[in-house]
Amino acid sequence: MSSVYEAPGEFDADAVLAHLNERSVGTLSDRMGIEFIEAAPDRLVATMPVEGNTQPYGLLHGGAHVVLAETLGSMAASVAAGPGKHVVGIELNASHSRGVRSGRVTGTVTPVHVGGTLMTHRVEVRDEDGKLASTIRITNLVRDAAGPGH
């Protein structure tokens, strides 16, 4: 798959979505119900249900916000890095703005910095009314793939 930032004319959104959703099967993001729904050269969008991902008081768990954001940020960096590369998260911070009790949240990731060795992305998580629930920044280190399948 080509880098989404270096070759936007070759970007195939359907192929990217199929790849990302396929890669998620059997992972934490799959167990949490994260589904990639939109891909573009400058953003990825995924949803996640609130139900099943709450803390004991009925609000979407802060860690669930972070899992959604790390999934989006890492996948965006991985797609941007292109074949023969893999990414490793090295820093993440989250600010929660409001609680969410039901429905689905939507995370949208956009690039802040896309470099050859470091990439930083911003993720906004919003409730079904479009209200901001959290803002997360993730930085990934870009490495050469370790071996077959990476």
Q: Which residues are catalytic?
A: 70
Instruction: Indicate the angle between helix axes 62-81 and 13-24, nearest 10 degrees.
Output: 130
State the pairing for strand pair 104-114/118-126. Answer: antiparallel
- The strand ranges marked E within the chain are 35-40, 43-49, 85-96, 104-114, 118-126, 132-144
Compute the CA torsion angle 129, 105, 18, 31 (nearest 10 deg).
-160
